Amino acid sequence: MIYMIAILASIFVIIITITLIWSLWKYLRDDTRNLKNSLKKDGNMDTTINITINIKPKKK
């Protein structure tokens, strides 16, 4: 039983880590694209930052 809980917790942590890395990579990629577009528009530095993190606790 303890091994099952440990395996489920480790899988949960791995999923959260992958999600955070993917969202950070996507945010940085979108940020560089917005920066390039804003530099083309006469130096208009209007960049929006949207970060959403969804954490769903396990229900027993």
pLDDT score of 52:
61
**Are 2 and 11 contacting, i.e. CB atoms less than 8 angstroms apart?**
no
| 7, 31 contact by CB (below 8 A) | no
Distance from C-alpha of 54 to C-alpha of 2, rounded to nearest angstrom: 26
- What pLDDT is recorded for position 48? 55
- Give the global pTM: 0.45
Q: What are the residue ranges spanned by the domains of the chain?
A: 1-46
- Tell me, what's the pLDDT at 27? 78
What's the pLDDT at 36?
61
Amino acid at position 47, single letter:
T
Contacts of 19 (CB under 8 A, 6+ apart): 53
Residue stretches of the chain with pLDDT short of 50: 43-45
| C-alpha–C-alpha distance, residues 1 and 5, integer Å | 6
What is residue 12's predicted lDDT score, i.e. its pLDDT?
94
